[in-house]
Amino acid sequence: MTTMPVGGLVPVATDDEAADVIVRNAKVYTQDAARPQAGAVAIRDGVVRAVGDDASIAPYLGARTRVVDALGRRVVPGLNDTHLHVIRGGLNYVLELRWDGVPSLRQGLAMLRDQAARTPKGQWVRVVGGWSAEQFAERRPPTVAELNAAAPDTPVFVLHLYQSALLNRAALKAAGFTKDTPDPKGGQIVRGRDGEPTGLLLAAPGALVLYSTLAKAPTLHGADKKTSTRHFLRELNRFGLTSAIDAAGGFQNFPGDYGTVTELAEDGLLSLRIAYHLFPQTAGQEIEDLTRWIEMVRPGDGDAWLRLNGAGENLTWAAADFENFAQPRPQLTGDYEAAFEKAVRLLMENGWGFRLHATYDETIRRDLAVFEKLAVEGLFPAGNRWLFDHAETVSPDSLDRIAALGGALSVQNRLSFQGEAFLRRYGAGAAADAPPLAAMLGRGLTVGAGTDATRVSSYNPWVALHWLVSGRSVGDLALRPPQNRVGRETALAMYTRAGARLTGEDGVKGSLRPGFYGDLAILSDDYFTVAEQDIPHIESVLTIVGGRIVYAAAEYEGLDEDIPAVSPEWSPVAHVGGYQATGTPGGSGARQAELLGQAVAESEQHRQWRVRRGALPEDHAPAFDSCFVL
């Protein structure tokens, strides 16, 4: 077995006592108050056996122990995204062209053009989340004309946050949109002066029109769904993620859409621990769905790799305040509480926890009134884990009520991508407290952190950690002042220990200490010392889950488990991968290259502007070096 040398140490442990893997020569941040720092970790049978220095782990070194020299790098407990649509994301991952991390629209359009050329007839090119116009040098999304130019014959669907989607001519035809197609409820098909759809869909304010259109694209089948999910999990492992709480979501039916991760779990092929939720899909049928599921499964069913955590993030559709910060806050129906109370009562009486999508305090207050009514009957607090998701505008009074009822919170960095829209609609004062992290933590509430990927935010946890620490969007807009940010240790705890509490696993997960899961990441850069603007560029160079090396790069390339090649072969992931890593701004050379790339993009835009106005012939040679053409 491939190992790295351990100077001065001789294998002494028998096969029955030896560690499966030892990580040494490391700066280990344990999140264990009894031993916060260490130099080595020994893992056997999936759990940590020893934490300390070389002398501490020497008794666990055997002839078959795989030894990994961290080369002085930072080691942290495996990260845990407390709100990630991992099951749905895995089923579609290899079909998606990701603009996550792409620094310019010009590069994004070049990627799209190349993908259209390799995409077979009948398939779509889809860009469906993880990016914002503010991350681009051009500070704008693409136009329909640009999509038509990049892909005249291949359907292209580009989702922009929860706000809109762009379709080229071929996609409009494939989706069946015509002059006679009526606007769906809560959405708008933008039309030209001739009444024909232009290719722009608007969430007004609900995103159903966006998702229902995306659902018309071809999907994967059979073994390809497993391969797609395994590559998505490997991509998450790339950033040090070892656990996630799946928040379910629209178009994720139980048990059908959970079959792929269930089969992978049965075969021992998951590389990420998943605690999942169940989300009623049909309005008016929510109570029937919940009743049926209660008879089928119970929270905690499963194992350390795949387990049920409860219901949500919707219990009833009428109670959902889906956010589109480009639109006013949606007004919920005045009588949703009756059905909502039935759903909550059913869950609490049967020992089920739940999570609730609630962006606005207006919704949270109404939900809390229902909980307080049930508390009179002793149903709150009753030991069931429950939480509010998002809570960007939650008030101090509501936080007090959540604490009194035994609730928790999960926050996401949606404002990394939607911060500018939120600021324009609600102002700087509201943006400074969206969400009020200091008030949440100051009340002793459990506050987990995550991304809400993949449809708006990127799944990269370091972008979310940067947002927690800096209060800045991906466009470098400062939204939250220092008093409503958190330190790096607190942010990491929100991404590890807090997540374990939200799934009832805080006795086995979230720290590196004996008896806890052997989940850790060796980082490319030291999270605690890199410049703040460099935090989003951190990756894992080696990720271990349950003692298995599930991701390996840099000096460790080739040490991770083998997985099948990406299928189908024309997949965007097979050609450009997922998240597009860029140079760290803290490096002067990388920053210079980034600025040069922006200048090139701006030069080309200016040339095109001159051509459109007749100041330059269409076939005029470009005024930049062709080596920069993407």
Confidence of residue 25 (pLDDT cuts 50, 70, 90): very high
pLDDT in tens, 415-458: 999 999 999 999 999 999 999 999 999 999 999 999 999 999 99
Residue 465 lies inside a defined structural domain of this protein: no
Q: Decide if 267 is inside a domain.
A: yes
In a domain, 458, yes or no: no
Say if residue 615's pLDDT is above 70.
Answer: no
Q: What is the pLDDT of residue 589?
A: 47
Give the sheet arrangement for strand 21-24, strand by strand. 47-52, 40-44, 21-24, 66-69
Q: Do residues 205 and 319 both lie within one domain?
A: no
Q: Is the pLDDT of residue 54 over 50?
A: yes
Dist. CA 129–CA 163, nearest whole Å: 11
pLDDT value for 504: 97
Q: pLDDT tens digits, residue range 297-352?
A: 999 999 999 999 999 999 999 999 988 898 889 889 889 999 999 999 999 999 99
Do 233 and 210 lie in one domain? The reply is no
Percent of the chain predicted with pLDDT > 90: 84
- For 502-553, the three-class secondary structure string (H helix, E strand, C coil) is HCCCCCCCCCCCCCCECCEEEECCCCCCCCHHHHHHCCEEEEEECCEEEEEC
Confidence (pLDDT) at 330: 87
**Ramachandran angles phi, psi of 485, nearest 5°:** -110, 175
Whole-number mean pLDDT of the chain? Answer: 92
Residues 373 and 426 in one domain: yes
Q: Total structural domains in the chain?
A: 3
Same domain, 370 and 426: yes
Is 59 within the bounds of a domain?
no
Confidence of residue 552 (pLDDT cuts 50, 70, 90): very high
**pLDDT of res. 7:** 58
Tens digit of pLDDT for each residue in 480-509? 999 999 999 999 999 999 999 999 999 999
- CATH number of the domain that residue 443 is part of: 3.20.20.140
Are 254 and 398 in a shared domain? yes
In angstroms, the CA 199 to CA 220 distance is 25
Of 215, 237, 270, the one marking the end of a domain is: 215
Per-residue pLDDT at 326 = 87
Q: Which residues pair with 54 in a beta bridge?
A: none
The answer to whether position 62 is within a domain reads no
**Is residue 596 pLDDT above 70, yes or no?**
no
With beta carbons less than 8 A apart as the criterion, state whether 450 and 245 touch. yes
Helices (H) and strands (E) in the chain, counts: 19, 23
Check residue 5 and report its DSSP letter. Answer: -
User: 612 falls in which pLDDT band (50, 70, 90)?
Assistant: low
> Which pLDDT tens digit goes with each residue over 128-179?
999 999 999 999 999 999 999 999 999 999 999 989 999 999 999 999 999 9
Strands 66-69 and 21-24: parallel
Q: Please report which helix (H) or strand (E) contains residue 274, including its range.
A: strand 273-278
The number of residues in the chain equals 630
Alpha carbons 30 and 144: distance in angstroms, whole number: 50
Tokens of 272: 């990420």
Q: Is residue 3 in a domain?
A: no
Q: Coil, strand or helix: which one is 230?
A: helix
pLDDT at 592 over 70: no
Nearest CA to 454 out of 270, 166, 235, 261 is that of 235
Residue 435: is the preceding peptide bond cis (ω within 30°)?
Answer: yes
**Same-domain check for residues 193 and 341:** no
The answer to whether position 461 is within a domain reads: no
Tell me the two tokens of residue 105. Answer: 């629209």
| Residue 604 confidence (pLDDT) | 54
Report the phi/psi class of residue 18: left, alpha or beta, with left for phi > 0 and alpha for psi in -120 to 50: beta
The DSSP symbol for 556 reads G
Residue 467's Cβ-count burial label (10 Å; 0-12, 13-18, 19+) is: buried
DSSP string, 61-74: -BTT-EEEE-TT-E
159 and 199 part of one domain: yes
- C-alpha 306/C-alpha 274 separation (Å) is 5
First-to-last alpha carbon distance for the chain, in angstroms, is: 42
- Determine the Cα angle at 239 with ends 126 and 489, to 5°: 130
**Are 30 and 77 contacting, i.e. CB atoms less than 8 angstroms apart?**
yes
Rounded to 5°, angle at Cα 221 from 215 and 227: 110
Give residue for tokens 């070194």: 61
Is residue 268 domain-shared with residue 290, that is, in the same domain?
A: yes
**Boundary-marking domain end, from 215, 246, 278:** 215
Tokens 């996630």, residue located = 244
Contacts of 266 (CB under 8 A, 6+ apart): none
Residue with the two structure tokens 């980034």: 594
At residue 383, the pLDDT reads 87
| pLDDT confidence of residue 84 | 98
Q: Do residues 354 and 414 share a domain?
A: yes
Reported pTM: 0.92
- CB contact at 8 A, 50 and 101: no
* Same domain (yes/no): 240, 202: no
Distance of CA 191 to the CA centre of its chain: 33
Same domain, 248 and 166: no
Answer yes or no: do 143 and 232 share one domain.
no
The CA-based angle 143-148-149, given to 5 degrees, is: 95
Query: Which pLDDT does position 608 carry in this prediction?
Result: 60
Distance CA 455, CA 160 (A): 9
Domain holding 616, by residue range, is: 588-629
Take residue 410 and report the two structure tokens written for it.
């999960």
Amino acid 538: pLDDT = 98
Of 187, 215, 243, the one marking the end of a domain is 215
Give the residue-averaged pLDDT of 23-32.
Answer: 97
The answer to whether position 410 is within a domain reads yes
Q: Looking at residue 582, what is its pLDDT? A: 84
Q: What is the mean pLDDT of residues 57-76?
A: 96
Predicted confidence at residue 624, as pLDDT, reads 35
Q: Are 418 and 134 in contact (CB under 8 A)?
A: no
- What is the arithmetic mean of pLDDT over 525-529? 98
Residue 331's pLDDT is: 87
